[in-house]
Chains A and B, each alone.
Chain A
Amino acid sequence: MEIFQIAGIGIIATILIIILKQTRPEFTLLVSIVTGVIIFAYLLPKLSYVIDTISSLSSRVNVDISYFDTLIKIIGIAYIVEFASQICRDAGQDAIAMKVELGGKVIIMVLAIPVLLALLDLIIKILP
């Protein structure tokens, strides 16, 4: 079970950060980044399995594949933005975290525009 490994990594990293916090606060951020990266890397194969399953499902029900691609991209961007903004917030830089999140939102919006346009097209077609 990976959950025990992840929990163990989290606990160990927390203990190390508490030890380091009094003397060298600069290193606590680096330890927390590495912990985040390692846990993320444990989860990536699972995520790829989920995505493969969903994409096979979507191909079975005959949904347009390009919309599904957009969806996956948006999820990926959300993960990355969350990762970066959490690191910034950990270091006490809330303003930078907000900016990173803003960047993520704008890029997601740009990605979503084709879907929006398709939706509008559909509505116009349905309306008499």
Chain B
Amino acid sequence: MNVDLIFRIAAIGMITAILHIVLEKSGRQEYAYLVTLVGIIIVLGAVINLVSQLFADVRVIFRLY
């Protein structure tokens, strides 16, 4: 398991936050919303992989078939 995924998610979150502020200040609310959505989808892709890996490991160890 790699801990840097936590940092990566946090960094993507911060970057989307800054992008949101920048886009909102120049009056493009719809793009700001879109940027947040894309960030969450990207992070969710990584997180779901990790969770499914965990579930597979648990299944093997506790013999849940």
Are any A and B Cβ atoms less than 8 Å apart in their complex?
yes
Given A27-B43, A79-B58, A38-B64 contact (CB < 8 Å): no
Q: Which residues of B contact A (CB under 8 A)?
A: 1-3, 5-7, 9-10, 12-14, 16-17, 20-21, 36, 39-40, 43-44, 47, 50-51, 53-55, 57-59, 61-64
Given A38-B1, A38-B5, A41-B57, A75-B10 contact (CB < 8 Å): no
Contacts of B6 in A (CB 8 A): 9, 12-13, 16, 31, 34-35, 38
Total A-B residue contacts, Cβ distance less than 8 Å = 99
A-B contact pairs, 29 of them (CB 8 A): A9-B3, A16-B7, A19-B10, A20-B13, A23-B14, A24-B17, A24-B20, A27-B12, A27-B13, A27-B16, A27-B43, A30-B9, A31-B9, A34-B9, A34-B47, A37-B1, A38-B3, A40-B54, A44-B57, A44-B61, A47-B61, A51-B61, A69-B63, A73-B64, A76-B59, A76-B62, A79-B58, A79-B62, A80-B55
Q: How many residues of A contact B (CB 8 A)?
A: 32
Q: Pick the residue among A24, A27, A34, A51 that contacts B5 (CB under 8 A).
A: A34
Q: Which residues of A contact B (CB under 8 A)?
A: 9, 12-13, 16, 19-20, 23-24, 26-27, 30-31, 33-35, 37-38, 40-42, 44, 47-48, 51, 69, 72-73, 75-77, 79-80
